[in-house]
Amino acid sequence: MTSPLPDPGAAVRHGFASDNHAGVHPEILDAIAAANHGHQPAYGDDVHTARLRRIVARHFGEHAETFPVFNGTGANVVGLQSMTDPWSSVLCAETAHVHLDECGAPEKVAGLKVVPVPAPDGKLTPDLVAPYARGFGVPHHAQPKVITIAQTTEAGTVYTPGEIAALAAFAHERGMLLHMDGSRLANAAAALDVPLRAITTDAGVDVLSLGGTKNGLMLGEAIVVLSPEAARGVLYLRKAGMQLASKMRFVSAQLAALLDGDLWLRNARHANAMARRLADALPEVELTRPVQANAVFAIVPPDAAERLAKRYAFHVWNQTTGEVRWMCAFDTTEDDVDAFAAAIRAELGH
């Protein structure tokens, strides 16, 4: 007996839980189909990966080296591992994905000590990091080697080029390196209205996890080494870390389609605009964080949130305070936002 097919109607309503819930952009699907013709060498020796490397170098500088991987956790873990020694530590915001949401992969797979730093708005500063960047040369201490930041942060906030440059200078003055989890890098660049390199290469980032899945891809991210001397052995660590795709052309073709023109920017600008529209539609709701990209954080009473969750997907961010997170994606429409805002107002007035 065959299993029944899923009900197509079950996926009709757009939710606000995550930009990962969105489908694949049609132009990305076209790129996958185009890459499906004929045979190509495996493991990155294909024409699509070669093209991607040229496109990434155009965005980030001629010295940028590109290593496509399956997912964001893989990009972070392999990237950080290439920047560190077995006795190293990595400093991050206490809300960082590498600390809270990667199931201990940096520790288990890369053998790193991840040190969380309190950061009320999700952003690290030199002053916040300074008390944790200590113990250099002391054999009793894991040696601080990398500061890793997320752009945008888990709190939905955006680092400016100056803020990133200050962290890079702080790190480099101490012989440390700066890593960026750029799973929503496009949203940050769109919010700031700057090129991608302005908040990466030009600001002093050494290694970047370049996101794609949250911005319209089916799957796939890339490790981009911006400072060649900062990373060692990515070519081998990617395989050892189970992130080397045999049919890499299908990952590379997606990223190339996203970055070659302005699709990355169009998608990000739209997602950001939908988040702003949602926030503006709810003046009666208490926003807990500035709406800087495609995330809205707000306070909703638990009973209202429980009723609303039966109709729309979203995350309760803090059970204690009633803080919720609403995410918009490249395929969120104005009608989606308006209907959701109306549902929120209805539940608040229930």
232-270 burial by CB neighbour count: b if 16+ within 10 A, else e?
Answer: eebeebbeebebbbeebbbbbbbbbbbbbeebbbbbbbb
Q: Where does a domain end: 260, 281, 316?
A: 260
Please compute the mean of the pLDDT values over residues 160-186 and round it to a whole number. Answer: 98
Q: Is residue 39 part of a domain?
A: yes
Q: Is residue 3 part of a domain?
A: no
Residue pair 297/288 in contact by the 8 Å Cβ criterion:
yes
Q: Is pLDDT above 70 for 181? A: yes
Domain count across the chain? 2
Average pLDDT, the chain: 95
Q: Is residue 97 part of a domain?
A: yes
Q: Is residue 197 part of a domain?
A: yes
Residues 55 and 122 in one domain: yes
Residues 41 and 142 in one domain: yes
Residues 180 and 276 in one domain: no
Q: Which of 227, 256, 267, 262 lies closest to 24 in space, CA to CA?
A: 267
Taking only the tens place, the pLDDT of each residue in 52-87 is 999 999 999 999 999 999 999 999 999 999 999 999
H-type alpha helices, the chain: 26-35, 47-60, 72-83, 97-100, 105-108, 126-129, 161-173, 185-192, 234-240, 249-260, 263-280, 302-309, 334-348
Taking only the tens place, the pLDDT of each residue in 324-333 is 999 999 999 9
Residues 299 and 243 in one domain: no
Q: Is residue 2 part of a domain?
A: no
Residues 104 and 117 in one domain: yes
- CATH number of the domain to which 342 belongs: 3.90.1150.10
Q: Where does a domain end: 260, 292, 317?
A: 260
Residues 169 and 270 in one domain: no
Residues 236 and 271 in one domain: no
Q: What is the DSSP string of 85-115?
A: -TTEEEEEETT-HHHHSSTTHHHHTT--EEE
Q: What is the DSSP string of 125-152?
A: -HHHHGGGS--TT-TTSPEEEEEEEESS
Residues 52 and 155 in one domain: yes
pTM of the model: 0.95
Handedness of CA 209, 46, 213, 277 (dihedral sign): positive
Who has greater pLDDT, 269 or 111? 269
Residue 5: pLDDT band with limits 50, 70, 90: low
Please compute the mean of the pLDDT values over residues 282-309 and round it to a whole number. Answer: 96
Q: What is the pLDDT of residue 82?
A: 97
Q: Is pLDDT above 70 for 4? A: no
Residues 212 and 306 in one domain: no
Residues 35 and 86 in one domain: yes
Q: Is pLDDT above 60 for 2? A: no
Q: Which of 247, 189, 185 lies closest to 219 in space, CA to CA?
A: 247
Q: Containing domain of residue 80, as a range? A: 26-260
Kindly state the tokens that stand for 145: 């080697």
Please compute the mean of the pLDDT values over residues 127-141 and round it to a whole number. Answer: 97
Q: Is residue 276 part of a domain?
A: yes
- CATH number of the domain to which 161 belongs: 3.40.640.10
Q: Is pLDDT above 50 for 1? A: no
Q: Is residue 49 part of a domain?
A: yes
Please compute the mean of the pLDDT values over residues 281-309 and round it to a whole number. Answer: 96
Residues 83 and 48 in one domain: yes
Please state, in angstroms and rounded to a whole number, the distance separating the CA atoms of residues 283 and 281.
Answer: 6
Taking only the tens place, the pLDDT of each residue in 262-291 is 999 999 999 999 999 999 999 999 999 999
Residues 141 and 42 in one domain: yes
- Cis amide bond preceding 153, omega within 30: no
Q: Where does a domain end: 228, 260, 292?
A: 260
